[in-house]
Amino acid sequence: MASDYIVGIDLGTTNSLVAYMQGDSPVVIPGEDGLNLVPSVVALDENNQVIVGNAARRYLIETPERAVYSIKRLMGRGLEDIQDELKLFPFQLAEDLQPGEVLRIKIGERTYTPPEISALVLRQLKRNAERFFGAPVSQAVITVPAYFNDAQRQATKDAGRIAGLNVLRLVNEPTAASLAYGLDKNKHGIVVVYDLGGGTFDISILKLHDGIFEVIATNGDTHLGGDDIDNLLIAIALDDIRGDLGLDFRRDARNSGEAVQRVRQAVIEAKIALSSQPMAKLDVDLPGGHKYRREISLEAFEQMIQPIIDRTVGPCKQALKDAGLKPEQIDEVVLVGGSTRIPKVRRLVQDLFGRVPHTDLNPDEVVALGAAVQANILGGGSEITKEMLLLDVTPLSLGIEVAGGVTDKIILRNSTVPASATQYYTTQVDGQTNIAIHVLQGERELARDCRSLARFDLKGVPPMPAGMPRIEVKFLIDANGILRVSAREQRSGKEAEIDVQPSYGLTDEQVENMLLESFDYAEEDFRQRQVIEARREADTILTALAKGKKNPAWQELTSEERRNIDTLEKALLAVKDGDDYHAIREAIDALNQATMHLAELMMDTAVSTALKGKAMNDTDLEEGPQAGHPVAKADFE
Amino acid sequence: MIIPGQGPREATASCWSCGTMRAVHFCSSCGKVQPPVPVDYFSFFGFPRKLNLDAAALEKEFYALSRRLHPDLFAQANPEERAFSLEQSSMLNDAYRTLKDPIKRTEYLLRLEGVELEEQSKQATEKARATGELKKQVVPPDLLEEVFELNMHLEELRTQKKMGEDDPALLEEIGKAKLSLEEKYDALFSELKAEWNQWDKSVDDGTEEDRRKILGKILDVLNRRNYVRNLVRDVNEALE
């Protein structure tokens, strides 16, 4: 079931969105609840049904052990990387987790890898889009923080595949934002995108020129965002609670989940309030009938968060330096991410770049909108995007470990992607047939301080005296910022075989297994959902028709019209409870067509209230037949 | 263990799609994107192998080729064309990155012409430090005295730092030396540009022997320049 819809997805730490290009402008596709933002929260209900988004949020409070949030922080990371995260977030690791294994997180009785949890969020977005289009969606552009490393990007791509999406491109979030920003205007000049989201910070400097969006430099911190502000405020509140009430919830965030989650909710609300008010109240009902109340002034808040937001300064300065630019050479500063609503953050950006940042874009939506623009470009483009081309860079240097544990950098950070490098290797011992190669990502001089991406074994090198073989290894970073490797022994002309073992992440086989399970389910699910929605629509029109028949207008129809309607009504009744979506659909359309005149007459005689202006999902049946097809609310999961 | 770079090879091929003899990146007959052949970066852009390069023209050509070769334009194409586009645009980006930077461009030309640069990069220094190997260092004769004195001062500064002492006179000395080195660094760039002109002229009407001689001079300037750059870096590190 291929479809032509390519959607753009912002898979955020806190919220996720799906958007597409409607004519000349990108628009966000709302969820069933009518809201654009889908909280990146996944929960399992008492029947182990997966709940995603706003509906999952209440589980965070009621049964925190059955819900998980901010999973993006764990994408592409190993057990040893996440010790800090474990102190601050109530992630529960699977008990049987082995060192070196891909992380698995417990939700209720089940365990999931971070890409699977992200895939559940993606699947929800996919469904929202499918519901909106009334057609399956299988292709997407997904955004990632610009400063994501190879493992984090790979994990995101895996999540897409597990969700049944062909990920056409991973786009860096600030770059996506610049696409949305530069869409409607013929923009030229140097643009800085400052993106402080829920869990990640990115800074990107771009040169806009005749529709080319060329990233000159990027920098960031993949563990810096609104979450950090929340955690700081939570820690202060828990301290307070211990002092005032003698209750200690701090020792183990995981065992006092409910209390911590209530405090978390309250500090988030206070943080948001402080973006527009000088004072906010914390008012928390703790378990056991205790109450915690406190006021926070804007001044105190700004003082508390200063050290956190100051951490964005270093990456900004480095990016400017790498770009070879001074702040006064910047033409425009664009703010992205919910945390840029904080007035203190805006002042910091203004001071850094010496200009008032551009704020007329919705910082929560602009990344998804830009992803939709990129999706449109990849789909062949339209009038407005046909001149647009994005030239992005790799955020981190790529290197190889050489003698002495030193990193030999072979592709430097801020190189435009795709980028490649060729290195030649030889053997150190006579007759050696294997060569081990360790690929690293990062800026540090020593291999142990860089991110280990993969270890390769070049196998099948023909036995020769030491130093004789000449093996060409080609490293290629694709447009997604993901590394590919190939190798060839030049003297024998033999393709040396490469075994890539991702240091962190799922093997293709693992992804394949996860994919098959959920993909079968998703396809089946979509078909069933279509049938359910069609049935519901059939019920709506049949009920409306029953009412219409009691209306005086019914008598005004010719007997032939009435007979025709009766026949089509019976036809719909006959197929409605079957599983043939198309049969139901056709019967509905036919009946709709036939009752059009009846609806008009009912309007004319003013027996019914106005039929105009009915909301798409309004299933109120008091109004008689509706001219359009009412789209019923679906109730899957 | 690692041998950088890749020599140029002659590039002729016919279009994979229609079989006609092709232009560098696209078939002149059917317009299909072609697999990259291992041409040098100058030829990739259709430029002569000269060192004076119009940055604006290079950028314009880079944008124009990006608009035709970038993988975004082939998202809906067949896997073969997608692979060609990926290879072509990675080569385009590698070539642009190398040619737009005057020093990288010069070093690239030397390698193309079979001249190996001395290992005086920061990496080589770090590597030497880590492995305890002795690094090849050729001190340019005209700098011998200055370097000798500076190194003594730096050694003194490091000792003082360890003891927690502070000697303004010493700092002033080092500051002066740094300034003089920075001037030298700029002067060397001018010297390099003069050699570029020599090289470009020899491409048009010089003999092979002329060219070898100029390459030797360029190598010499680059080595001295790298040496000075490393000294400035050492001074900055010591002053931190």
| Domain residue spans of chain A | 6-224+311-391, 226-308, 396-505, 511-604
**Model pLDDT, residue B17:** 52
A164: helix, strand or coil:
coil
**Model pLDDT, residue A534:** 83
Residue A25's DSSP bridge partners are A22
Q: Which residue has the higher pLDDT, B115 or B218?
A: B218
* Cis amide leading into A278 (omega within 30): no
Residue A159's DSSP bridge partners are none
* Burial call A533-543: b when 16+ CB within 10 Å, e when fewer: bbbbbbebbbe
Among candidates A390, A409, A421 on the partner chain, residue whose Cβ is nearest the Cβ of B72:
A390
The CATH number assigned to the domain with range A511-604 reads 1.20.1270.10
Measure CA A602 to chain center. Answer: 47
**Model pLDDT, residue B12:** 45
What is the per-residue pLDDT across B103-124, written as a single tens digit (0 to 9) for each?
Answer: 999 999 999 998 877 654 444 5
**Model pLDDT, residue B127:** 53
How many angstroms separate the CA of residue A552 from the nearest CA in chain B? 57
Chain B residues inside the 8 Å CB shell of A390: 72
Residue A486's DSSP bridge partners are A474
Given a cut of 80, whether residue A4 has pLDDT beyond it is: no
Q: What are phi and psi of B163, to 5 degrees?
A: -80, -10
| Mean local confidence (pLDDT), A236-261 | 75
Dist CA B152 CA A460 (whole Å) = 52
| Mean local confidence (pLDDT), A169-192 | 89
B15 to each of A280, B28, B70, B88, how far by Cα in Å?
A: 69, 9, 19, 14
Among candidates A391, A415, A422 on the partner chain, residue whose Cβ is nearest the Cβ of B66:
A391
**Residue B85: both structure tokens together:** 């586009």
Chain B residues 52-91 with a CB less than 8 Å from chain A: 63, 66-67, 70-73, 75-76, 86-87, 89-91
The label of the residue with tokens 């809906």 reads B76
Dist CA A422 CA A487 (whole Å) = 9
Q: Does A432 touch chain B (CB under 8 A)?
A: no
A276 exposed, middle or buried (CB, 10 Å; 0-12, 13-18, 19+)? exposed
> Is A589 part of the annotated catalytic residue set?
no
Given a cut of 80, whether residue A633 has pLDDT beyond it is: no
Dist CA A432 CA A411 (whole Å) = 28
> Is A10 part of the annotated catalytic residue set?
yes
**Model pLDDT, residue A230:** 93
Q: Do A404 and B127 touch (CB under 8 A)?
A: yes
Q: Do B1 and A477 touch (CB under 8 A)?
A: no
Given a cut of 80, whether residue A497 has pLDDT beyond it is: no
Residue B113 resides in a domain: no
Chain B residues inside the 8 Å CB shell of A418: 71, 86, 89-90, 93
> Is A120 in contact with A22 (CB distance < 8 Å)?
no
Given a cut of 60, whether residue B7 has pLDDT beyond it is: no
By C-alpha distance, the chain B residue nearest A473 is B2
Q: What are phi and psi of A185, to 5 degrees?
A: -115, 155
> Is A173 part of the annotated catalytic residue set?
yes
**Model pLDDT, residue A352:** 95
Most confident of A80-84, A151-155, A255-259: A151-155
**Model pLDDT, residue A626:** 37
> Is A425 in contact with B2 (CB distance < 8 Å)?
yes
> Is A17 in contact with A368 (CB distance < 8 Å)?
yes
Give the DSSP H or E segment for A103.
Answer: none
| Mean local confidence (pLDDT), A153-182 | 94
What is the per-residue pLDDT across A376-432, written as a single tens digit (0 to 9) for each?
Answer: 999 988 888 888 999 999 999 998 888 778 888 899 999 999 999 988 888 888 888
Residue B219 resides in a domain: yes
Dist CA A43 CA A65 (whole Å) = 9
A401 to each of A2, A621, B95, how far by Cα in Å?
A: 44, 70, 25
**Model pLDDT, residue B174:** 83
Chain B residues 183-202 with a CB less than 8 Å from chain A: none
Q: What are phi and psi of A255, to 5 degrees?
A: -95, -10
Containing structural domain, residue B155: 131-239
> Is A147 in contact with A224 (CB distance < 8 Å)?
no
Q: Which residue has the higher pLDDT, A80 or A274?
A: A274
Range name among A12-26, A193-207, A470-484, A597-611 with the lowest pLDDT average: A597-611
Range name among A240-254, A539-553, B55-69, B102-116 with the lowest pLDDT average: A240-254
Given a cut of 90, whether residue B10 has pLDDT beyond it is: no
Q: What confidence tier does A185 reach under pLDDT thresholds 50, 70, 90?
A: low
Same domain, B199 and B141: yes
A436 to each of A172, A461, B91, how far by Cα in Å?
A: 32, 12, 27
Chain A residues inside the 8 Å CB shell of B1: 402-403, 425-426, 428
Beta strand ranges found along chain B (DSSP E): none
Of the three residues B100, B117, B140, the one that is the final residue of a domain is B100
**What average pLDDT is seen over chain A?**
85
Given a cut of 80, whether residue B228 has pLDDT beyond it is: yes
**Residue A54: both structure tokens together:** 């706003």
Pairing label, strands A415-416, A393-394: antiparallel
% of chain A exceeding 70 in pLDDT: 89
**Model pLDDT, residue B125:** 53
Given a cut of 70, whether residue A631 has pLDDT beyond it is: no
> Is A192 in contact with A353 (CB distance < 8 Å)?
yes
Return all residues near B153 (Cβ < 8 A) that are at least 6 apart: B170, B173, B174, B177
Q: Which residue out of A5, A171, A389, A468 would a mutagenesis test of the B interface target, given it has the greatest number of B Cβ atoms within 10 Å?
A: A389
Residue B201 resides in a domain: yes
A186 to each of A142, A206, A400, A508, B70, how far by Cα in Å?
A: 25, 15, 42, 43, 22
Domain count, chain B: 2
The CATH number assigned to the domain with range A226-308 reads 3.90.640.10
Among candidates B63, B71, B76 on the partner chain, residue whose Cβ is nearest the Cβ of A418:
B71
**Model pLDDT, residue B134:** 46
Dist CA A441 CA A449 (whole Å) = 9
Given a cut of 80, whether residue A371 has pLDDT beyond it is: yes
Given a cut of 60, whether residue A587 has pLDDT beyond it is: yes
By C-alpha distance, the chain A residue nearest B124 is A408
The closest of A420, A413, A482 to A150, measured between CA atoms, is A482
Q: Do A419 and B76 touch (CB under 8 A)?
A: no
How many angstroms separate the CA of residue B25 from the nearest CA in chain A? 16
Of the three residues B54, B83, B100, the one that is the final residue of a domain is B100
> Is A592 in contact with A631 (CB distance < 8 Å)?
no
Q: Do A406 and B130 touch (CB under 8 A)?
A: yes
Chain A residues inside the 8 Å CB shell of B130: 404-406, 445-446
Give the DSSP H or E segment for A379.
Answer: none
What is the rounded end-to-end Cα distance, in angstroms, of chain B?
34
Q: What confidence tier does A525 reach under pLDDT thresholds 50, 70, 90?
A: low
What's the DSSP call for residue A413?
A: T
Given a cut of 80, whether residue B137 has pLDDT beyond it is: no
Residue B121 resides in a domain: no
Q: Which residue has the higher pLDDT, B86 or A604?
A: B86
Q: What confidence tier does A502 reach under pLDDT thresholds 50, 70, 90?
A: low
Given a cut of 80, whether residue A495 has pLDDT beyond it is: no
Among candidates B6, B66, B75 on the partner chain, residue whose Cβ is nearest the Cβ of A389:
B66
* CA dihedral of A231, A237, A240, A244, whole degrees rounded to 10: -150
B120 to each of A165, B127, B128, B135, B186, how far by Cα in Å?
A: 48, 11, 10, 8, 18
Dist CA B13 CA A559 (whole Å) = 77
Q: Candidates 3.30.420.40, 1.10.1240.10, 3.30.300.30, 2.60.260.20; correct CATH number of A6-224+311-391?
A: 3.30.420.40
B21 exposed, middle or buried (CB, 10 Å; 0-12, 13-18, 19+)? exposed
| Mean local confidence (pLDDT), A25-34 | 92
The closest of B133, B109, B123 to B202, measured between CA atoms, is B109
Given a cut of 90, whether residue A145 has pLDDT beyond it is: yes
Residue B115 resides in a domain: no
Return all residues near A379 (Cβ < 8 A) that are at least 6 apart: A4, A6, B75, B76
Given a cut of 50, whether residue A619 has pLDDT beyond it is: no
Q: Identity (one letter) of the amino acid at A6?
A: I
**Model pLDDT, residue A372:** 97
> Is A6 in contact with A379 (CB distance < 8 Å)?
yes
| Mean local confidence (pLDDT), A124-140 | 93
Catalytic residue, from A32, A65, A72, A150: name it: A72
**Model pLDDT, residue B129:** 53
Q: What are phi and psi of A139, to 5 degrees?
A: -125, 140
Among candidates B76, B89, B93 on the partner chain, residue whose Cβ is nearest the Cβ of A380:
B76
Of the three residues B100, B123, B156, the one that is the final residue of a domain is B100
| Mean local confidence (pLDDT), A163-170 | 94
Q: Which residue has the higher pLDDT, A560 or A187?
A: A560
Among candidates A390, A406, A420 on the partner chain, residue whose Cβ is nearest the Cβ of B94:
A420
Chain B residues inside the 8 Å CB shell of A406: 123, 126-127, 130-131
Same domain, B139 and B220: yes
Q: If you write DSSP's letter for every residue of A190-201 in order, what string do you get? A: EEEEEEE-SS-E
| Measured CA angle at A162 (ends A159, A165), to 5 deg | 85
What is the per-residue pLDDT across A286-341, written as a single tens digit (0 to 9) for each?
Answer: 877 888 888 999 999 999 999 999 999 999 999 999 999 999 999 999 999 999 99
Q: What are phi and psi of A190, to 5 degrees?
A: -95, 125
- Global pTM value: 0.79
Q: What is the CATH number of the domain that holds B47?
A: 1.10.287.110
Q: Does A168 touch chain B (CB under 8 A)?
A: yes
Q: Does A485 touch chain B (CB under 8 A)?
A: no
Given a cut of 50, whether residue B190 has pLDDT beyond it is: yes
CA neighbours closer than 13 Å in the CB half-sphere of residue B68 = 14
Q: What confidence tier does A506 reach under pLDDT thresholds 50, 70, 90?
A: confident
The label of the residue with tokens 């609310």 reads A633
Residue B117 resides in a domain: no
CATH superfamily of A396-505: Substrate Binding Domain Of DNAk; Chain A, domain 1 (2.60.34.10)
> Is A72 part of the annotated catalytic residue set?
yes
Measure CA A273 to chain center. Answer: 25
| Mean local confidence (pLDDT), B149-157 | 83
